[in-house]
Amino acid sequence: MKVLENGLWKTGRTVRVMNKGTVQNKNKFLNHIASRLGRERKTEVQVPDWKHTPQWDVSQAKTLDELYHRFKENSEEKGTSIFETTTENLTDTVEDIIKRYDGKPIIATNDNRFKEYGLTEVLYKNEVHVWDPASEEVNIEIAKQSNIGFFFSDVSLAESGTVTQFNSRDIARSVSLLPLVYVAIIPKSTIVPRMTQVTEKIHKQVKEGKDISSYINFITGPSNSADIEMNIVVGVHGPVKAAHVVIMDA
């Protein structure tokens, strides 16, 4: 009998260390599958040279201003409020949004971009709880009680009015999921045509040997659910309201 105890597999009197990030008996397992399928095992995969690649053609000719117009239109169509601002006026815009959505309790991701865009003081002034990876359960409870959750969008999709959150220990999905309102801060320069460009970015990170996010959220407006009679109910599985703060940086 094998028992996992403190990261060790114990079999009788033998103790075998399971190293993090390793796969045990991979070749034996794959060879067995191939033999049961009655074919030779494939050891490498080649990406097909596709004749048609329409995913790259959609909106490629559009300017950033045109992409933003489409992003704004699709966001508002799904019930998301749009607030346009500049880097210089971002602090005032955030203050106005906090008042609009009833203020604290508020939570924000532990993201260096808040400091880069000069928002540290406004977060402190409004007693915003910044996600602490050392206190996950406390963070989650605060997020559940929060009126507002602030985070930055890593890439924003014009095609659907979608914001993207590359999650990590500091940038937790609870911040965008649990408060009554999520507020995504979006540098205009992050807007791309569609999900094709997001997957391209992820593949590039892999090729460069960089760590990729353990979890990626694509968020399109407030939570919406519909029953069999197509009655729309907002906020059942997430925020009741959503806001996109677009920094007109390009």
Residue 32 shares a structural domain with residue 66: no
* pTM, full prediction: 0.77
Same domain, 124 and 176: yes
Residue ranges making up the domain that contains 9: 2-36
The C-alpha atoms of residue 118 and residue 86 are separated, in whole angstroms, by 12
CA angle 178, 235, 168 (to 5 degrees): 30
| Kind plus residue range of the DSSP H or E element containing 107 | strand 106-108
Q: Is a pLDDT exceeding 80 seen at residue 176?
A: yes
Regarding whether 177 and 104 lie in a shared domain, the answer is yes
Got the DSSP string for 8-67?
A: EEEETTEEEE--TT--SSHHHHHHHHHHHTTSPPP--------S--GGGTTTTT--HHHH
| Alpha-helical runs (H) found in the chain | 26-36, 64-77, 90-100, 112-116, 120-125, 136-145, 174-177, 195-207
- DSSP letter assigned to residue 75: H
Residues 241 and 156 reside in one and the same domain: yes
- Residue 47 inside a domain? The answer is no
Q: Is residue 90 part of a domain?
A: yes
- What's the pLDDT tens digit per position in 189-229? 999 999 999 999 998 988 898 888 888 999 988 876 765 66
Do 103 and 12 fall within a single domain?
no
Residue 65 domain flag = yes
Residue 30 sits in the same domain as residue 110: no
pLDDT at 1 over 50: no
Say whether both 105 and 224 belong to one domain.
Answer: yes
Q: Does residue 126 share a domain with residue 29?
A: no
- Tell me, yes or no, whether 156 lies in a domain: yes
Note the pLDDT of residue 17.
52
- Domain assignment present for residue 42? The answer is no
pLDDT value for 22: 73
pLDDT in tens, 104-136: 999 999 999 999 999 999 999 999 999 999 998
Q: Is the same domain home to 132 and 206?
A: yes
- Cα separation, 108 vs 147, in Å, equals 11
In a domain, 43, yes or no: no
Rounded-to-integer distance, Cα 130 and Cα 30, Å: 45
44 in any annotated domain: no
Residue 49 lies in a domain: no
Assess whether 83 and 31 both reside in one domain: no
Looking up residue 157, the CATH number of its domain turns out to be 3.40.50.10420
Same domain, 26 and 148: no
pLDDT band, residue 164 (cuts 50/70/90):
very high
For residues 30 and 58, membership in a common domain is answered with no
Count of structural domains, the chain: 2
Which of 27, 22, 2, 21 is closest to 12 using CA atoms? 2
